[in-house]
Structure 1
Amino acid sequence: MNSRAININYKGARPAITGPISVTEDSYPFNVASRQYVPIEMASYGYVEEELFISGLANVYQWYDSGTIPATVRTPDVPYTTRFLLRRPAEPRNFSGNVIVEIFNWARNYDNPWGGWAESYEYLLAHGDAWVGITIRPANVVGLKNFNPERYASLSFANPLPPDERPPDSGAYPGPSSPLTENGLIWDIISHVGAIMRSNDSASPMAGYRVEYVYAAGATGGDLSAYVSAIHPLAVLDNGRPIYDGYLIKCTGVPGAINQSEPRMPPDDPRCQLYIDVPVIRVMTQGDILGRGFHPDWSWVYRQPDSDEPGKQFRLYEVAGSYIGIQYSLLSNPCEEDVAAAKGIWTGPFAVPEHEFPLQYIMNGAFANLDRWVREGVPPPRAERLATTGKYPDVAFELDEFGNIKGGVRTPYVDVPVATYTWNGRVIPFDDALLKKLYPSREYYVNQIIKHTGSLLRDRWVTEVDGEKIKRQAEQTRVP
């Protein structure tokens, strides 16, 4: 296969790119768009999709005991090989100038695009953005090799330390973790991939495309939060520009461990406050806040104030009524056959509830607002935090008369409700008697939705396209 070193203008690093990796009937990328749970043909959107391997040298960092921002190097120049998917417009003239680099979620031991593509692919494709998904976890490499041992034979996150020098695993990473591998290689990989997207080297997969801005996104157990605090200050190109222009982080409150041997940060450590020199937006669901159920991280204790101050540009959005595992995002899962081949944890089959909360609309608005914040300096809207009572660990949600939470990012789904939205994803439709009491006629209900959606649009919480979707959904909602 064709392998070429790329000058990425970053600390002398010259990672090698291999590919695009060939696709046949029997050998194709894991989580290729055409084999998602709901398949997508990229060509129908004017896009191409490629899988590439990246090999280079990464540092393993240390952070927990140093008390420093940023992290410092523990073990330098460790070889790695991983893969990434690239989806970009087929014609450079249709490219927006934005590249979204998403670090794949690894909660089910296979690559999942939660926190970017899964929620916002329709927005990204319509906007002309390029999207990249990176495999960042050794456990997911195991899944890839289960899926296709020959295709993914070269992928490696090998532990650089001799067996007698390997400290015990910190237990900070859920799922399988082996002393033979090192989770801490991921940070320079994230930096290298972002720098490759910016590189004007003819060997770059984005050669011929005018890349203006590169954003990082993901929902990855705190990895992106750790990158922002510990690594972003180091991730500066030779021309002085940061590799990433902004970050959109979905879910989780706690920064992940910096390597396989260190624990995560306690909530009172100032390094958990994500104030850096580029904008950061965090989107939290109701299911993230109190450390319950599917997501045990207590995002409540990692809250921080919003800021427009240069060097501290930050927004925290806690979305009332939303849940971490919306079914819409699962539509971008790999198909069941491929998950079985990877020996991952399948999450279907499933049916989308009639009134499922559409978190994707808030995510799309967050992407649009992040881009405008970076390009034009226009600050995004602010929202209250979700309403709670008590102190850690005895915190409870403050609910309204319908069982929906108060505060947070408000939408018509909780302000003009036809159902109760719980922290664990349950949607409890109102009975006919309550609906008739609240909404004397269908026309009245639809007009209320239109009014509240107008407020969302004026305040830039959602895009114009999604605002129209909310209105159309109201016209189809069963109201006696």
Structure 2
Amino acid sequence: MTVLQAHRLETSAHSLPLGVARLPGTAFGVDLEAAGYREDEYLVSGNANAWTYDEHGQAVPDADVPYTTRILVRRPVDEARFDGVVQAEPLHPEYDTAISWRVLHPWIMRTGAAWVGITQEPRIAESLRAEFDPARYGRLSIPAPSLRYDIVADVVTALRTRAFGLWDGPEITRAYLSGWSMTGSFCRVFLGEGFHERRRLPGGEPIFDGYVIAISSGGAARAGYPGLSNGPDQPTMRDPRRIVGSHGVPVIELLSEVESETHGPVLRADSDDPADRYRLYQVAGTSHDSTGPHHVDTNQEQYRRRGLPVPSRRILETPSDARMDFVARAVFSLLDRWVADGQAPPHAERFTFEEEPCGEIGDAVPLARDEHGNVLGGIRTPWVETPVARYHPHSTPVPGECRPSPWMPMAEPEAMTWLAGHMTTFSADLLIARYPTAETYLTRYRENCLAMVGAGFLRWEEVEPLLVAAGHRALTLLPRNRPVPAR
């Protein structure tokens, strides 16, 4: 369970990292140079434990296995800008996508934090080695799925201890682990199987100072708690490890409506106990795919350019314009204040169910909704508090227009679009009844944005883009008695 070697990979026009921050000549990605950031890619080799379950269902090491993975590191060029924070994420099995980066990059670059993405899925490591770029990634090897937890711990330990030149900047004072969907479940297993307690820095401090488990429900059958490997001997649907326990550092679960439908059997109370700091935040009017602009990701476009299969998904309805990432950036800021300053974040109202959850893991229970079909409770986003549409968490596939990737566990079109949100605009009569003029709508929308800022669930810098989007809606849907203000 240690890094033995690290090697920085050179980048050129003819050899780019998968998931490069910006894909030249396209609209894909983020301009790091303009933000004063740099990107480095490394191959990292070491030995990690393969893990299995004993006869009591407890995690035990099985064998010491060599591995070679790759990591991407993004950080400020000017070391004086670095704020001491590293946001770490296990890269998603779907094309090694960096969903935490997609969601957080504006805030990361505003605050001067660093980000590291770590390849941890054996199937994508094999695809990179054999299909995508054998010359660049021919040494990649992750022989077993259960290695992934120690691999991620190894990499961040090496960063924090400055091993093998992976980090030559100022001291890393705080490191957070987050994941979304399948990698959110990765974080739940990392905690549930004891890796947080087992893996420590040389002085005994935890590797990670806090966690965000996003759009992953502990009650979502195998997807919510995949366990150590792909084998049959995994924790049962009733296993208490599905519920986040006490780990001595803050843990936040951040859910959309989709995951909340199955989360009933594993709900627990918020806590400010120093040994068990926990929050659950459920974001009204969002779906599993409300994670922000997908053009930030370059991975699928890079695969497509090499003639390799990429997925497609189209729905019959109007795609939702909800943006969970606006709330998520505030939530991560709250986590950092909780760790750095001891300032406990606010509590949030939770969703309620149409009926009492039966307690069976994997069963989705509809959420209670108002007379217009929007969810009740949760963090009250401005598009739900000042609605011009009903926000649905699930959608309907266009026949013949949904193709999964080779790594997607859901191959059926109905299952793919179950994760996609859509919106149904209110009738003209209802819109006029609610908002006699566009100015009425914009005034209320602005008030709701400011209320979210006051509650801590929206950052000031996010208000303007939300108001601009609201102005576009007003121009399209509502009458006005004077020009619609942009902000």
- The TM tier, using the shorter chain, reads 0.7 to 0.9
Letter in 2 for 1:31: G
Indicate the SS of the match to 1:445.
Answer: helix
Who is 1:170 aligned against?
Answer: none
* 1:379 CA displacement: 1.3
CA contact (8 A) 2:283 2:379 kept: yes
- What CA deviation, in whole Å up to 9, does each residue of 1:11-30 have, x standing for no partner? 7x3431111x0112221111
1:73 aligns with 2:69: no
Who is 1:361 aligned against?
Answer: 326
Q: TM-score, normalised by structure 1?
A: 0.84
Who is 2:78 aligned against?
Answer: 91
1:211 aligns with 2:172: yes
Structure 1, unaligned stretches of length 5 or more?
Answer: 1-10, 159-181, 291-297
Selected match of 1:120 from 97, 104, 120: 104
* 1:204 CA displacement: 2.9
Selected match of 1:185 from 124, 147, 151: 147
Q: For 1:218 and 1:342, locate their aligned partners in 2 and report how far apart those are by CA, in whole Å.
A: 29
Who is 2:453 aligned against?
Answer: 457
Who is 2:253 aligned against?
Answer: 282
* 1:56 CA displacement: 0.3
CA RMSD of aligned residues (A): 2.3
1:53 aligns with 2:43: yes
Q: Percent identity of the aligned residues?
A: 28
- What CA deviation, in whole Å up to 9, does each residue of 1:278-327 have, x standing for no partner? 1011111112233xxxxxxx333332221111221111111111011137
Who is 2:414 aligned against?
Answer: none
- What CA deviation, in whole Å up to 9, does each residue of 1:20-48 have, x standing for no partner? x0112221111101128623221111000
Q: For 1:451 and 1:96, locate their aligned partners in 2 and report how far apart those are by CA, in whole Å.
A: 32
1:248 aligns with 2:212: yes
* 1:63 CA displacement: 4.0
Who is 2:410 aligned against?
Answer: none
Q: How does 1:282-321 map to 2 (within 5 A)?
A: 282-290=253-261, 298-321=262-285
- What CA deviation, in whole Å up to 9, does each residue of 1:230-281 have, x standing for no partner? 1111121120100000011111222221123254433432222222111011
Q: For 1:398 and 1:277, locate their aligned partners in 2 and report how far apart those are by CA, in whole Å.
A: 34
Indicate the SS of the match to 1:196.
Answer: helix
Who is 1:196 aligned against?
Answer: 158
* 1:332 CA displacement: 2.3
Q: For 1:17 and 1:345, locate their aligned partners in 2 and report how far apart those are by CA, in whole Å.
A: 31
C-alpha distance 354-418 of structure 1, shift in aligned 2 (>3 A): farther
CA contact (8 A) 1:383 1:409 kept: yes
* 1:337 CA displacement: 4.1
Q: For 1:375 and 1:112, locate their aligned partners in 2 and report how far apart those are by CA, in whole Å.
A: 29
* 1:353 CA displacement: 6.6
C-alpha distance 422-349 of structure 1, shift in aligned 2 (>3 A): closer
CA contact (8 A) 2:88 2:115 kept: yes
Letter in 2 for 1:284: L
Who is 1:15 aligned against?
Answer: 4
Letter in 1 for 2:121: R
Who is 2:128 aligned against?
Answer: 144
Selected match of 2:444 from 441, 445, 448: 448
Q: For 1:17 and 1:78, locate their aligned partners in 2 and report how far apart those are by CA, in whole Å.
A: 17
CA contact (8 A) 2:291 2:325 kept: no
C-alpha distance 342-101 of structure 1, shift in aligned 2 (>3 A): farther
Letter in 2 for 1:135: T
Structure 2, unaligned stretches of length 5 or more?
Answer: 218-223, 395-420, 480-487
The alignment covers a number of residue pairs equal to 431
